[in-house]
């Protein structure tokens, strides 16, 4: 039975994050998640409105929740970490105020991130069951960014210091997520235009840490983070003198590849760092040894 949610795409899904949009829609259809787009939705106010005028930012986000309630009260799912943060703050504040200039908020809907919905509504076992091609060749550094899990009392999603949902999804697909300490550091996306120098410095640290951890790619769930990391990688390499050439995937893209969805090539056309060679290596790699065979091989090597 399909699980139905009100869907808030946010501005990025119709522009810079259109590849994320295409992959998540394909994945949701495949897994039986029905997304009903909120009619006449508006920008949630990211990134500047909530800083320039709190009341305006609050009501911009709140209006979308009111529209979702008018649709029938299904939980609101959004894929963008920035939209998730703004809508979640509006939900939190709206439950106290009850209304704003946008109208009356009853509190009948809960804002949820797409990643959390897939992990908790579909489940890792189901993801494993649908995985036709193990991605064990990939060693991703799971990157959550600074908005998805903080502040924890409002976001209520995963551990604020050491989130694991992307790691667990990658693990269910067969990939071997690396351990690293930069998974919730800010990439500086909101400063991309006014302070590019600051952004390049932040990204340099992120890629250096990912590379030192042994990662061969970065996996994220945020269109702003993906765009920033992907487009600024060359500048970060020039700043540090290092050779950064690391694909930055959306977790939904990797799910589509592992599930055998052939349209994944269309999702990669907007990527700056070519993501296909690593995927092709993963798909052509021999299957991982079965646990029992691997154990016997290790025992035989120990005896020798």
CATH code at 64? 1.20.1050.140
Decide if 121 is inside a domain: no
Residue 293's pLDDT is 57
Residue 49's pLDDT is 74
Positions in the chain short of pLDDT 70: 1, 47, 50, 291-304
Q: In terms of domains, do 138 and 107 share one?
A: no
Residue 10's pLDDT is 96
Q: In terms of domains, do 248 and 150 share one?
A: yes
Residue 288's pLDDT is 74
Q: In terms of domains, do 136 and 278 share one?
A: yes
Q: In terms of domains, do 225 and 108 share one?
A: no
Q: In terms of domains, do 183 and 273 share one?
A: yes
Residue 47's pLDDT is 67
Decide if 90 is inside a domain: yes
Q: In terms of domains, do 50 and 160 share one?
A: no
**Number of separate domains in the chain:** 2
Q: In terms of domains, do 66 and 29 share one?
A: yes
Decide if 304 is inside a domain: no
Q: In terms of domains, do 169 and 271 share one?
A: yes
Q: d(Cα 168, Cα 270) in Å, to the nearest integer?
A: 26
Q: Are strands 140-143 and 76-78 parallel, antiparallel or unpaired?
A: unpaired
Q: Is 75 left (phi over 0), alpha (psi -120 to 50) or beta?
A: beta
CATH code at 147? 3.40.50.11810
The domain in which residue 162 lies consists of 132-284
Residue 257's pLDDT is 98
Q: Of the candidates 88, 95, 17, which has an alpha carbon nearest to the alpha carbon of residue 57?
A: 88
Q: In terms of domains, do 280 and 171 share one?
A: yes
- Phi, psi (rounded to 5 degrees) for 217: -165, 165
Q: In terms of domains, do 219 and 169 share one?
A: yes
Give the list of residues 6+ apart from residue 94 with CB closer than 8 angstroms, or none: 58, 62, 65, 100, 105, 107
Q: Which of 115, 142, 166 is the last residue of a domain?
A: 115
Decide if 74 is inside a domain: yes
Residue 1's pLDDT is 61
Q: In terms of domains, do 109 and 172 share one?
A: no
Residue 296's pLDDT is 57
Residue 87's pLDDT is 97
Residue 2's pLDDT is 77
Decide if 293 is inside a domain: no
Residue 100's pLDDT is 85
Q: In terms of domains, do 63 and 169 share one?
A: no
Q: Are 90 and 76 in contact (CB under 8 A)?
A: no
């Amino acid at each position: 039975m399909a699980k139905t949610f009100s869907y808030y795409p946010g501005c990025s899904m119709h522009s810079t994050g259109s590849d994320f949009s295409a992959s998540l829609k394909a994945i949701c259809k495949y897994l039986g998640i029905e997304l009903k787009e909120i009619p006449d939705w508006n920008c949630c106010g990211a990134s500047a409105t909530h800083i320039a005028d709190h009341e305006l930012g609050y009501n911009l986000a709140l209006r979308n929740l009111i529209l979702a309630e008018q649709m029938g009260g299904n939980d609101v799912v959004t894929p963008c970490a920035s939209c998730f943060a703004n809508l979640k703050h509006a939900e939190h504040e709206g439950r106290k105020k009850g209304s704003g200039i946008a109208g009356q908020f009853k509190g009948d809907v809960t804002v949820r991130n797409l990643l959390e919905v897939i992990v908790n509504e579909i489940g890792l076992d189901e993801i494993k069951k649908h995985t036709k091609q193990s991605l064990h060749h990939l060693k991703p550094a799971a990157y959550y960014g600074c908005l998805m899990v903080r502040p924890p009392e409002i976001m209520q999603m995963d551990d604020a210091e050491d989130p694991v949902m992307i790691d667990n999804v990658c693990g269910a697909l067969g990939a071997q997520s690396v351990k690293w300490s930069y998974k919730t550091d800010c990439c500086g996306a909101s400063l991309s235009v006014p302070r590019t120098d600051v952004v390049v410095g932040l990204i340099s640290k992120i890629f250096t840490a990912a590379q030192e951890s042994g990662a061969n790619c970065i996996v994220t769930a945020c269109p702003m983070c993906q765009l920033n990391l992907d487009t600024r990688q060359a500048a970060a390499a020039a700043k540090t003198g290092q050779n950064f050439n690391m694909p930055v995937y959306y977790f939904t893209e990797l799910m589509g590849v592992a599930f055998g969805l052939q349209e994944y090539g269309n999702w990669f056309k907007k990527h700056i760092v070519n993501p296909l060679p690593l995927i092709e290596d993963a798909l052509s790699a021999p299957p991982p040894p079965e646990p029992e065979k691997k154990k016997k091989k290790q025992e035989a090597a120990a005896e020798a």
